[in-house]
Amino acid sequence: MLATFLASTPLLSESWRLCTTVAATSPRSFVTEEEGGVVYVAFPGVEMAAASDSCWRTLVALDSIGDLTLFSARRTKEDFEPVMVHAGMLNLFSTYFNPFQNQISKDPWKIRNSYSIQPPVLLTNQMLALMGNSTTKTIVITGHSIGGATASLCALWLLSYLHHISSSTSVSVLCLTFGSPMLGNDSFPRAILKERWGGNFCHVVSKHDIMPRLLFAPITPYTTQVNFLLQFWRLSMTTPGFGKLAVPISDQQQELFNFVMSCLDAATQDGEGSAPILFHPFGSYLFVSSEGAVCVDSSTAVIKMMHLLFVSGSPACSIEDHLKYGDYIKKLSLQFLNQKNSMLGNIPDSSYEAGLELAVRSSGLANQESAKECLKSTRRMGPSPTKNAAVLPIKLSKVLPYRAEIEWYKSWCDQQVDQMGYYDLFKRRRSTSKMAMKINMNRHKLARFWNNVIEMLERNELPHDLVVREKWVNASHFYKLLVEPLDIAEYYGKGTHTTRGHYIQHGRERRYEFFDRWWKDGMATAEENNERRSQFASLTQDSCFWARVEEARDWLNSVRSESDTSKLALLWDNIEKFERYAVDLIDNKEVSEDVLAKNSSYSIWVEDLKGLRELRAKVKRFPHNFNPFQDGEVIP
| Residues tagged active-site | 145, 209, 322
Whole-Å CA distances, 174 to 63, 308, 327, 334: 22, 28, 22, 20
Helical H runs in 133-280? Answer: 146-164, 187-194, 223-238, 251-267
Q: What is the DSSP letter of 160?
A: H
Q: What is the distance between the alpha carbons of residues 531 and 21, in angstroms, rounded to a whole number?
A: 59
Q: What is the distance between the alpha carbons of residues 553 and 602, in angstroms, rounded to a whole number?
A: 9
Q: What angle do CA 622, 624, 627 make, to 5 degrees?
A: 110
The string of DSSP codes covering 537-600 is: -SS-S-TTHHHHHHHHHHHHHHHHH---HHHHHHHHHHHHHHHHHHHHHHHTT-S-GGGG-TTS
Q: What is the DSSP letter of 184?
A: B
The string of DSSP codes covering 491-541 is: HHHTTTHHHH--HHHHT--HHHHHHHHHHHHHHHHSPP--PPPSS--SS-S
Q: Is 29 helix (H, G, I), strand (E, B) or coil?
A: coil
First to last CA, the chain: 79
Residue type, 158: L
| Closest by Cα among 171, 149, 21 to 96 | 149
Beta pairing, strands 284-289 & 109-111: unpaired
Burial 46-83 (b: 16+ CB within 10 A, else e): bbbbbbeeebbbbbbebeebeeeebbbebbbebeeeeb
Q: At what angle do helices 601-621 and 565-587 cross, to 10 degrees?
A: 130
Q: What is the distance between the alpha carbons of residues 84 and 264, in angstroms, rounded to a whole number?
A: 21
Is the distance from CB of 142 to CB of 176 less than 8 angstroms?
A: yes
Backbone angles phi, psi at 627, to 5 degrees: -60, -40
